[in-house]
């Protein structure tokens, strides 16, 4: 996925809350002080954005997935080392090449009191396949069979090795809670299916929630605030988590977010702006945690627009001219990891041999060989970070322009705010486009499918391939890897694919953006963080403030 704040603009539509819902929320709030005990542990969190809907199938974004980890549980989830850890699924096995059998946890209850069974999993997958944002990811699953109450089979048409990765996106919904039609009190929505999904729509699921997760929602202001309390019947008794009340607010301005943490108004913030890293690192009472991220930033060289880019030697020369290590060290203060391939460390396709290859003399020689000793002129576009927390992309674009100037490629560059940038990007408006990409599946193949596959508007592959690069041999290698269920063979195929891209250089990889979180040192944040940027706050341990423990 290319961006996490695409749902910002829908805020206005949803915040026109129904009066009935409002009074319900008020009731919850007024009830809070009565139920909250003095020794309850409270955690206040500030994110840049919060979901505008409680329906976790409405939007595919980091914000929604973070909410899903609080109010729901996935079948399996990523651990810190990109391994998979059992949650609602306790064990799994391959029945045959196209079938994966999952054994489900027993005795798990939803917030509504309903018992969790295999039928909820089947129902949830069926709903995911109807969701506009998720159906592409779930296309490989063609069927789900309920074997018994705690066993379920996932079927694919062809052998598909990433079923477990997909299972990290399956947060079983309470099928009985979400089934049926809205009653007469719903007014003009009477008779609407409770399971309906509508982007920015006023559906049942966008306002009501019942999951198995560690927290229940007590108050929800779309896009602005979410209040949660610990679910008393939560199944995971081994979880060390001790937070009773969790409050999340959206603070879009990064400096304000940092100030809120420093002032003690909130205990945990994400993301941390690059410019505040040094300051927070040296601040007593604040813990800063950084991790090499999995989001690759690269420069795509459009071969359709620039004939010179069709020459492999020119593309290689540009790769030799750009010094990723200098960018990481001097420009981004070490808060990115220099990259020469798409797959970050820990991913199947990652190959330690593929390292940045800055060599100006070689770059100049390659340009001479290609007949471009005097260079040429190109345009470059990049998003700027005026409103968004991101690496200083405008500075990066300028540094790259300076590096390419040394092999006589004159770069005319411009930077735009992100929302304007994507329109220009979709038009392929410049010769070189900057792109940042997360793998939706936590797997290397996803990078290839979106960034290097021959662009095909019908199947949607190569949708963000602004290099307009097309290498059928590479595409078929990835397709082969995608039906290889032997993980060792698959890994070597993906590495081979990365090596092919390294040699063919359709783009210039720049860096993986490091992730950064900051929290008050009362909050043991490090154990619940992961590179997928979804803090598992259900498991977080907070040392109560001195006043909180003994005030009774």
Partner 1 sequence: MNPAPTPASRGPLASALGHLARRRRLWLYLGMLLLLAGAALMAPWLAPSDPYDLAQVELRDSLRPPWWLADSLPGHPLGTDVQGRDLLSLMLYGARVSLAIGFGAVLLQLLLGVTLGLLAGYRGGRLDALLMRWADVQLAFSTLMMAIVISAVVKAAFGGAFYGHYGIWLLILIIGLSEWPLYARTVRASVMAEKRKEYIEAARVLGFSAPRVVLRHLLPNTLPALLVISGAQIGQAIMAEAALSFLGLGMPETQPSLGSLIKSGFDYLQSGAWWITLLPGAYLVLTVLAVNLLGDAWRERLDTRHAPVSPTAKGG
Closest CA to 280 of 302, 292, 257, 262: 262
Which positions lie near partner 1, rule CB under 8 A? Answer: 275-276, 278-279, 323, 326-327, 330-331, 333, 379, 384, 386, 392, 394-395, 398-399, 401-403, 405-406, 408, 411-416, 420
User: Does the CA dihedral 541-524-73-98 come out positive or negative?
Assistant: negative
**Helix intervals (H) in 16-117:** 19-35, 62-71
Q: Can you state the angle between helices 312-321 and 393-405, rounded to 10 degrees?
A: 120
Least distance in angstroms from the C-beta of 391 to partner 1: 11
Least distance in angstroms from the C-beta of 264 to partner 1: 20
Residue number, 402 or 487, with CB nearest to partner 1: 402
Give dist(CA 113, CA 244) in Å, integer: 19
Residue number, 110 or 335, with CB nearest to partner 1: 335
| Omega of the bond leading into 271 within 30 degrees of 0 (cis) | yes
In SS3 terms, 232-265 reads as CCCCCCCCCCCCCEEEEEECCCHHHHHHHHHCCC
Residue number, 51 or 383, with CB nearest to partner 1: 383
Residue number, 128 or 336, with CB nearest to partner 1: 336
Residue number, 125 or 407, with CB nearest to partner 1: 407
Torsion angle (degrees, nearest 10) of CA 46, 51, 54, 56: -110
Residue number, 62 or 394, with CB nearest to partner 1: 394
Q: Can you state the angle between helices 444-451 and 472-481, rounded to 10 degrees?
A: 150
Least distance in angstroms from the C-beta of 518 to partner 1: 14
Residue number, 71 or 391, with CB nearest to partner 1: 391
Least distance in angstroms from the C-beta of 403 to partner 1: 7
Least distance in angstroms from the C-beta of 423 to partner 1: 11
Residue number, 333 or 548, with CB nearest to partner 1: 333
Contact call for residues 68 and 74 (beta carbons, < 8 A): yes
Least distance in angstroms from the C-beta of 47 to partner 1: 22
Least distance in angstroms from the C-beta of 509 to partner 1: 17
Q: What are phi and psi of 349, to 5 degrees?
A: -80, -5
Give dist(CA 378, CA 306) in Å, integer: 8
Least distance in angstroms from the C-beta of 425 to partner 1: 13
Contact call for residues 392 and 274 (beta carbons, < 8 A): yes
Residue number, 421 or 453, with CB nearest to partner 1: 421
Contact call for residues 552 and 544 (beta carbons, < 8 A): no
The token pair at 319 is 């790769």
CA–chain centroid gap for 402, Å, is 32
Contact call for residues 46 and 247 (beta carbons, < 8 A): no
Give dist(CA 169, CA 420) in Å, integer: 30
Least distance in angstroms from the C-beta of 310 to partner 1: 24
Give dist(CA 119, CA 133) in Å, integer: 23
**Helix intervals (H) in 406-543:** 418-426, 444-451, 472-481, 487-504
Residue number, 121 or 394, with CB nearest to partner 1: 394
Residue number, 122 or 508, with CB nearest to partner 1: 508
Residue number, 129 or 279, with CB nearest to partner 1: 279
Closest CA to 113 of 238, 195, 231, 244: 231
Closest CA to 102 of 146, 152, 160, 142: 152
**Residue 269, H or E segment:** strand 268-270
Least distance in angstroms from the C-beta of 330 to partner 1: 4
Give dist(CA 163, CA 154) in Å, integer: 8
Residue number, 254 or 491, with CB nearest to partner 1: 254
Closest CA to 500 of 343, 338, 297: 343
Least distance in angstroms from the C-beta of 278 to partner 1: 5
Mind giving me the DSSP string for 278-319? HHHHT-TTEEEEEEEEEEEEEEEE-TTT-GGGGSHHHHHHHH
Give dist(CA 148, CA 102) in Å, integer: 11
Residue number, 49 or 415, with CB nearest to partner 1: 415
Q: Which residue has the tokens 């000793």?
A: 373
Least distance in angstroms from the C-beta of 179 to partner 1: 47
Least distance in angstroms from the C-beta of 276 to partner 1: 8
Least distance in angstroms from the C-beta of 269 to partner 1: 17
Give dist(CA 240, CA 42) in Å, integer: 15
């Amino acid at each position: 996925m290319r961006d996490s704040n695409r749902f910002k603009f829908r805020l206005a539509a949803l915040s026109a809350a129904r009066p009935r819902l409002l009074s319900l929320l008020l009731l919850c709030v007024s009830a809070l002080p009565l139920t909250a005990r003095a020794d309850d542990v409270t955690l206040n969190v500030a994110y840049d954005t919060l979901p505008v809907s409680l329906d976790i199938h409405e939007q595919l974004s980091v914000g929604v997935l973070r909410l899903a980890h609080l109010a729901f549980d996935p079948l399996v989830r990523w651990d810190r080392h990109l391994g998979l850890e059992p949650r609602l699924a306790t064990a799994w096995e391959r029945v045959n090449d196209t079938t994966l059998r999952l054994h489900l946890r027993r005795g798990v209850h939803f917030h509504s009191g309903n018992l969790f069974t295999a039928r909820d999993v089947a129902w949830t997958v069926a709903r995911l396949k109807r969701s506009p944002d998720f159906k592409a990811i779930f296309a490989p699953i063609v069927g789900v069979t309920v074997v018994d109450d705690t066993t379920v089979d996932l079927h694919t048409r062809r052998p598909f090795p990433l079923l477990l990765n997909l299972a990290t996106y399956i947060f079983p919904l309470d099928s009985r809670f979400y089934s049926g039609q809205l009653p007469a009190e719903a007014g003009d929505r009477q008779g609407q299916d409770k399971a309906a999904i509508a982007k920015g729509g006023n559906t049942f699921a966008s306002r009501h929630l019942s999951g198995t997760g560690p927290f229940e929602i007590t108050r929800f202001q779309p896009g602005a605030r979410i209040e949660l309390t610990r679910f008393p019947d939560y199944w995971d008794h081994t979880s060390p988590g001790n937070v009773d009340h969790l409050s999340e607010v959206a603070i879009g301005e990064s400096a304000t977010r940092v100030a809120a943490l420093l002032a003690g108004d909130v205990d945990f913030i994400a993301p941390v702006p690059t410019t505040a890293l040094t300051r927070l690192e040296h601040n007593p009472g604040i813990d800063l945690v950084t991790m090499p991220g999995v989001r690759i930033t690269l420069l795509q060289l459009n071969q359709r627009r620039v004939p010179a880019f069709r020459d492999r030697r020119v593309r290689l020369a540009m790769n030799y001219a750009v010094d990723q290590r200098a960018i990481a060290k001097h420009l981004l203060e070490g808060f990115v990891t220099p990259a020469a391939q798409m797959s970050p460390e820990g991913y199947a396709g990652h190959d330690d041999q593929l390292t940045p290859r800055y060599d100006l003399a070689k770059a100049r020689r390659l340009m001479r060989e290609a007949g471009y000793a005097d260079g040429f002129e190109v345009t470059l576009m990049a998003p700027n970070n005026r409103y968004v927390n991101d690496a200083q992309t405008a500075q990066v674009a300028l540094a790259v322009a300076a590096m390419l100037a040394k092999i006589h490629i004159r770069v005319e560059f411009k930077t735009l705010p992100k929302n304007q940038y994507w329109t220009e990007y979709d038009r392929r408006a410049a010769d070189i486009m900057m792109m940042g990409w997360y793998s939706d599946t936590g797997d290397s193949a996803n990078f290839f499918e979106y960034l290097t596959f021959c662009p095909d508007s019908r199947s949607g592959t190569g949708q963000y391939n602004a290099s307009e690069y097309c290498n059928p041999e590479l595409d078929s290698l990835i397709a082969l890897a995608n039906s290889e269920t032997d993980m060792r063979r698959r890994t070597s195929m993906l590495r081979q694919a990365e090596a092919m891209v390294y040699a063919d250089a359709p783009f210039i990889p720049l860096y993986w953006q490091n992730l950064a979180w900051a929290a008050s040192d009362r909050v043991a944040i490090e154990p619940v963080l992961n590179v997928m940027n979804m803090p598992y706050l259900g498991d977080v341990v907070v040392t109560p403030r001195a006043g909180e423990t003994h005030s009774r």
